Structure 1
């Protein structure tokens, strides 16, 4: 049921932004931003449920909990960079949107470095 509310909110925001864009284009970007913030706020509560699931998984498996924290950081970085990039594209600033996307990818690579190092270490132990 929550996805229906989110879809309706998104469609209402698009219709409102399209209507406002003809007369005041700067307000269309603000409508888009407000709708995005509301939808993202709703998604944060879903991430809390997933975080609790990861905590339960660490109790039953030998996987370190720090890896799940890294995974949550990667998801957060990707959401924030995608959201920010989309807002910039809607406002017509495609160059800035591209830079945000590049920074998001670099940030994900930086955060995931411990996992990549552990993977290489495991492979090297397996091959040795």
Structure 2
């Protein structure tokens, strides 16, 4: 089971980190980095399954593939940003981690602009064209 592997890897990495952090901080950081990458590699298989499921659901619901792909990219950026930010915080560089988070938010906003525009267009299509359509005016 993959979750058991991930938890065991995390526990072993934690023990190694605790043992090495006072002796060699640079090695302890590399343990954190390698552990994060290893867990990401294990999880990537599951992410592929989720992506296929979401694409299939999008096809069944007749949702434009562009929107499904954009949402998947946004989710990917969020996870990658969080991973990079956490590893950077573990290295003691909180200011760099906050810049990574800011960059992730900006990229997400850039990808979301077409979706936001489409939602605004749909809303505007529901609003009547003439201005005084309210009763009593």
TM-score range relative to shorter protein: over 0.9
Could you tell me how far apart the structure 1 residues matched to 2:13 and 2:67 are?
37
Shift of 1:127: 1.9
Could you tell me how far apart the structure 1 residues matched to 2:42 and 2:57 are?
24
- Find runs of 4+ consecutive structure 1 residues off by over 2 angstroms: none
Q: Does 1:118 align with 2:118?
A: yes
**Match of residue 68 from structure 2:** 68
**Match of residue 38 from structure 1:** 38
**Match of residue 80 from structure 1:** 80
Could you tell me how far apart the structure 2 residues matched to 1:113 and 1:17 are?
42
Tell me the C-alpha RMSD between the 2 structures. Answer: 1.1
Structure 2: gaps spanning 5 or more residues: 129-137
Shift of 1:37: 0.3
Of Structure 1 and Structure 2, which has the larger fraction of its residues in helix?
Answer: 1
Q: TM-score when scaled to structure 1? A: 0.94
**Match of residue 97 from structure 1:** 97
**Count of residues paired in the alignment:** 128
Considering Cα pairs closer than 8 Å and 6+ residues apart, tell me whether 1 or 2 has the greater RCO: 1
Shift of 1:58: 2.8
Shift of 1:3: 1.2
Post-superposition CA distance 1:39-85 (Å, at most 9, x none):
11112111111121122123311211111111111111111111111
Larger radius of gyration: 2
Structure 1: gaps spanning 5 or more residues: none
